């Protein structure tokens, strides 16, 4: 019976009882729900819970070899975020974390597009609470933009699902044709959540504005759900290779100039998603394994990096590189964990990033996609630059900023240490890790050639940074805002709309004043005739004109329509 309940549902529903529990008991209750949800993971492959509503079949619980690894890592992420946020006393944030994780896990097990849509929107509405949790005016405005875009993505998904249902009489969540209208709409819906180029502004806009634990949760679920959806429906679609390559390439430069270290990580997240999108575009068994492995490893090491920066934010009150430095002495555990995360994301051998990224790079090599291969190799050096070096260096080393904070709270340390251990274990035992991937293909990441090539690439990139820093060529970090694709709707669209609205009001002003003149003229004549006949004068204002105009409009419409 329990196996037929979709994983995540108990977390989603159980989250609404969170306010009933006092602070510490709440954490145990939340962890209990995560473990309870994980039981359903071990149900056999196939569809387990189907509900028929009129003509539509809702496949609420469908599991297979693709959903399984994502579901495992989503549960791990939920567990780690709950521990990390253990110090939070605000039940609203705890409720949001648990329901958001539950909705994302349930979405992984959706067997049809309508069920996916419901959970897709549930992740949007639960995650936005975490951005409001930033409790600043910037966070509030960012949350509004976030929810508009996320709901927009859901509407596109629903539109596509309806079109598909109209033509096929079913809307199964499986391979879709990108050349059909329905397929294209759903592709864009997934692309928004996967932060495709020019659709990525919401990610760097909102994630760094959320609370410390909120950002960790956000980094784990939404975008990886989109990666899962792309892998399920658009594996092998060629355009994804080019989209993914662009995603790996451009965020590097933005991350290099960004000052807010959590925003640097948000750019880096975008770059890492690019690797996964490229792999999905290739579509071979090795590449899909690579995409899933990378998503799995990425959730943990990116979460770890966000945790370390969240700990810094919690203790120091800022995450700006220009205001940080020298924290290693005061926050050694956070610093070491941050370095583990940095080394993992840079794909140093013996860490999780290496065993995951190698699958993608090898699949590119096997398919002969040389240009894309070198773009991704270049991006790998970029990852090292902005996430591997910039994050730990500017926060914990560089210059002494004179800050003397306490070490992170014990629950934060526990979550960071656990994540670090996972990063190392995955890196040391890749064969165990590969067993949970969708396809059983043999791959050996540790050979002399591969390890030496990677170490040369990374160490010489590190050495280049050392030279730039030592010879004072590297410019200081500056308090600034880096323009991103959200500029289009935050500034350009706003200005264009403003321009037209002002002109429209101007036109209305001219039109209404001339109308008033005409009506006044008529009234003057009526007034004259009234005075002549001994009646009192009538005053004409805008409201009178508006009422007369509306009445006239209704009369004309009535005449024309009926």
Partner 1 sequence: MNIFNKLIKNFGKANSIALLICIILLLLEFAGDRHGETEYEDFLFFPAFFGFISCIIIFRIGVALRAVFMRDEDYYDK
Which of 20, 35, 468, 522 touches partner 1 (CB under 8 A)?
A: 468
- Compose the 218-257 pattern: x for residues touching partner 1 by CB under 8 A, - for all others: ----------------------------------xxx-xx
Q: Give, in order, the Cα–Cα distances in Å from 560 to each of 263, 546, 554.
A: 58, 21, 10
Q: 98: Cβ–Cβ under 8 A, 6 or more apart, which residues?
A: 11, 12, 14, 15, 18, 30, 33, 78, 82
**Minimal distance, residue 220 CB to partner 1, in Å:** 27
Which of 490, 523, 544, 549 touches partner 1 (CB under 8 A)?
A: 490
**Minimal distance, residue 465 CB to partner 1, in Å:** 6
Give CA–CA dist 166/181, Å, rounded.
12
**Nearer Cβ to partner 1 (257/424):** 257
Which of 62, 232, 262, 385 touches partner 1 (CB under 8 A)?
A: 385
**Nearest-5° angle of CA 423, CA 378, CA 424?**
10
Q: Name the one range near partner 1 by CB under 8 A: 43-51, 108-116, 371-379, 529-537.
A: 371-379
Which of 364, 391, 403, 408 touches partner 1 (CB under 8 A)?
A: 364
Q: With 0-12 CB in 10 A as exposed, 13-18 as middle and 19+ as buried, what is 9?
A: buried
**Minimal distance, residue 200 CB to partner 1, in Å:** 14
Locate 111 and state its tokens: 């067997």
Site for partner 1 contains 458 (CB under 8 A) = yes
**Minimal distance, residue 259 CB to partner 1, in Å:** 8
**Nearer Cβ to partner 1 (136/431):** 136
Q: 374: Cβ–Cβ under 8 A, 6 or more apart, which residues?
A: none
Q: 175: Cβ–Cβ under 8 A, 6 or more apart, which residues?
A: 232, 233, 234, 235
Which of positions 290-349 make contact with partner 1 (CB under 8 A)? none
Which of positions 89-148 make contact with partner 1 (CB under 8 A)? 138
Which of 133, 160, 201, 382 touches partner 1 (CB under 8 A)?
A: 382
Give CA–CA dist 28/365, Å, rounded.
47
Give CA–CA dist 374/278, Å, rounded.
13
Site for partner 1 contains 455 (CB under 8 A) = yes
Site for partner 1 contains 479 (CB under 8 A) = yes
Residues in binding contact with partner 1, number by CB under 8 A: 51
Which of positions 403-432 make contact with partner 1 (CB under 8 A)? none
Site for partner 1 contains 377 (CB under 8 A) = yes
Locate 100 and state its tokens: 């958001």
**Minimal distance, residue 448 CB to partner 1, in Å:** 5
**Minimal distance, residue 560 CB to partner 1, in Å:** 47
Residue 229 near residue 154, CB atoms below 8 Å: no
**Minimal distance, residue 496 CB to partner 1, in Å:** 17
Site for partner 1 contains 459 (CB under 8 A) = yes
**Nearer Cβ to partner 1 (480/529):** 480
Site for partner 1 contains 557 (CB under 8 A) = no
**Nearer Cβ to partner 1 (290/303):** 290
**DSSP 8-state class, residue 199:** S
Three-state secondary structure along 120-156? HHHHHHHHHHHHHCCCCHHHHHHHHHHHHHHHHHHHH
Give residue for tokens 């070490």. 407
Which of 166, 168, 435, 453 touches partner 1 (CB under 8 A)?
A: 453
Site for partner 1 contains 384 (CB under 8 A) = yes
Site for partner 1 contains 393 (CB under 8 A) = no
Give residue for tokens 């189907």. 50
Query: Positive or negative CA dihedral for 269, 273, 274, 279?
Result: positive
**DSSP 8-state class, residue 536:** P
**Nearer Cβ to partner 1 (14/392):** 392
Which of 362, 419, 420, 485 touches partner 1 (CB under 8 A)?
A: 362
Q: Give, in order, the Cα–Cα distances in Å from 37 to each of 14, 62, 421, 438.
A: 10, 15, 23, 21
Site for partner 1 contains 378 (CB under 8 A) = yes
Give residue for tokens 């409201």. 543
Q: Give, in order, the Cα–Cα distances in Å from 311 to each of 57, 268, 346, 411.
A: 45, 19, 21, 10
Residues that bind partner 1 (CB under 8 A): 138, 252-254, 256-257, 361-362, 364-366, 370, 373-374, 377-378, 381-382, 384-385, 448-449, 452-466, 468, 470, 473-475, 478-484, 490-491
């Amino acid at each position: 019976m329990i196996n037929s309940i979709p994983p995540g549902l108990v977390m989603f529903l159980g989250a609404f009882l969170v306010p009933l529990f006092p602070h510490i008991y709440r954490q145990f209750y939340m962890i209990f729900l995560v473990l309870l949800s994980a039981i359903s993971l071990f149900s056999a492959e196939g569809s387990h819970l189907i509900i028929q509503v009129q003509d539509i079949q809702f496949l609420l619980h469908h599991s297979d070899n693709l959903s399984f690894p994502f579901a495992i890592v989503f549960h791990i992420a939920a567990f780690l975020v709950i521990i990390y946020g253990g110090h939070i006393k605000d039940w609203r944030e705890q409720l949001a974390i648990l329901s958001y994780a539950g909705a994302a896990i349930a979405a992984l097990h959706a067997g049809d597009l309508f069920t996916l849509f419901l959970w897709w929107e549930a992740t949007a509405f639960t995650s936005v609470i975490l951005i409001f949790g930033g409790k600043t005016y910037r966070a509030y405005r960012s949350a509004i933009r976030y929810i508009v875009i996320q709901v927009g993505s859901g509407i596109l998904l629903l539109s596509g699902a309806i079109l598909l249902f109209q033509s096929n009489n079913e809307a199964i969540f499986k391979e879709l044709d990108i050349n059909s209208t329905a397929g294209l709409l759903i592709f864009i819906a997934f692309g928004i959540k996967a932060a495709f180029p020019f659709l990525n502004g919401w990610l760097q806009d909102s994630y760094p504005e959320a609370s410390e634990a909120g950002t960790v949760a956000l980094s784990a679920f939404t975008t990886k759900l989109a990666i899962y959806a792309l892998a399920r429906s658009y594996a092998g679609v060629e355009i994804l290779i080019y989209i993914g390559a662009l995603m790996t390439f451009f965020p590097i430069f933005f991350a290099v100039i960004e000052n807010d270290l959590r925003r640097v990580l948000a750019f880096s997240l975008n770059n890492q998603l690019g690797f996964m999108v490229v792999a999905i575009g290739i579509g071979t068994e090795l590449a899909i394994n690579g995409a899933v492995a990378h998503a799995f490893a990425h959730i943990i090491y990116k979460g770890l990096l966000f945790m370390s920066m969240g700990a810094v934010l919690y203790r120091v009150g800022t995450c700006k590189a220009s205001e940080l430095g020298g924290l290693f002495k005061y926050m050694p555990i956070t610093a070491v964990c941050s370095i583990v995360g940095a080394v993992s994301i840079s794909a140093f051998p013996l860490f999780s990033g290496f065993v995951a990224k190698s699958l993608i790079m090898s699949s590119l090599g096997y398919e002969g996609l040389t240009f894309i291969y070198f773009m991704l190799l270049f991006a790998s050096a970029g990852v090292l630059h902005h996430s591997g070096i910039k994050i730990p260096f500017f926060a914990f080393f560089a210059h002494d900023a004179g800050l003397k904070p306490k070490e992170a709270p014990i629950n934060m340390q526990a979550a960071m240490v656990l994540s670090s251990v996972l990063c190392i274990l995955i890196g040391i035992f890749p064969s165990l890790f590969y067993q949970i991937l969708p396809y059983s293909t043999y791959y050996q990441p540790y050979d002399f050639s591969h390890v030496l090539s990677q170490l040369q690439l990374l160490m010489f990139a590190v050495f280049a940074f050392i030279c730039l820093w030592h010879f004072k060529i590297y410019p200081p970090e500056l308090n600034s805002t880096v323009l991103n694709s959200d500029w289009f709707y935050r500034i350009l669209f706003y200005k264009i709309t403003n321009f037209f609205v002002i002109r429209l009001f101007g036109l209305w002003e001219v039109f209404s004043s001339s109308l008033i003149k005409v009506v006044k003229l008529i009234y003057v004549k009526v007034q004259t005739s009234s005075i002549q006949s001994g009646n009192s004068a009538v005053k004409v204002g805008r409201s009178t004109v508006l009422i007369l105009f509306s009445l006239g409009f209704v009369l004309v419409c009535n005449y024309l329509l009926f």
